[in-house]
Amino acid sequence: MKIQHPFHGQQPDKWHKTLPPAEMLPRNEVLGGFIFVCNNETMQEDLRRQLFGLPQKYKDSVRAITPGLPLFLYNYTAHQLHGVFQAVSFGGSNIDPTAWEDKKCKGESRFPAQVRIRIKKKCKPLEEDAFRPILHHYDGPKFRLQLTVPEALGLLDLFTEEDFYKDT
């Protein structure tokens, strides 16, 4: 007889209600930008679909994203920050449930906290030592994905300096 876990195929809300306070912007801060995370495998799907996604626990913070917000993509395999992207939709849940499909749960995305994006400016990626000083860190090397306005402006300034495709 095959025994199934009681939560097979569903995630209980208590596991994914929200992020710990250290990972969230303080309530009095305005969201200035957002960093999404990928690896070498998921990066091409992110760009091909023009869609960024994060795990379910980020759904509330991703829902705060509005069209026009600056977005960045951190590739943790290469330790590089890519930009500059822009939200073209409001952040939501399962905008495209077929993106990053969960092999264990067909028709469900592993990264359901999603936003549609466009490339605002093609720039050379930033190495970690260039962008890490701008970010809010917690728990050692981890950094907050939600950006304050000054953090977002600081990153935008770095990408301006590193403009890879600038007309000469």
Question: What are the CA-CA distances from residue 149 to residues 7, 70, 152 (Å)?
Answer: 39, 10, 5
Residue 156 pLDDT exceeds 90: yes
Task: List the structure tokens of 151.
Answer: 């953090």
Kindly state whether residue 5 falls inside one of the protein's structural domains.
no
- Residue 69 belongs to what domain range? 29-161
Average pLDDT of the chain is 82
CATH classification at residue 58: 3.10.590.10
Residue 24 pLDDT exceeds 60: yes
Contact criterion met (CB below 8 Å) for 59 and 112: yes
Count how many domains the chain has. Answer: 1
For the segment 80-111, what is each residue's pLDDT rounded down to a tens digit? Answer: 999 999 999 999 999 998 899 878 877 788 99
Higher model confidence: residue 158 or residue 102?
Answer: 158
Kindly state whether residue 120 falls inside one of the protein's structural domains.
yes
Quote the pLDDT of residue 67. 97
- Tokens 């992110």 — which residue? 46
What's the rounded Cα separation, in Å, for the pair 131 and 81? 8
Residue 32 pLDDT exceeds 90: yes
Kindly state whether residue 139 falls inside one of the protein's structural domains.
yes
Higher model confidence: residue 96 or residue 13?
Answer: 96
Kindly state whether residue 111 falls inside one of the protein's structural domains.
yes
pTM for the model = 0.80
Kindly state whether residue 20 falls inside one of the protein's structural domains.
no
Higher model confidence: residue 76 or residue 7?
Answer: 76
- Cross-strand bridge partners of residue 138: 142
When pLDDT is cut at 50, 70 and 90, the band that residue 16 belongs to is very low
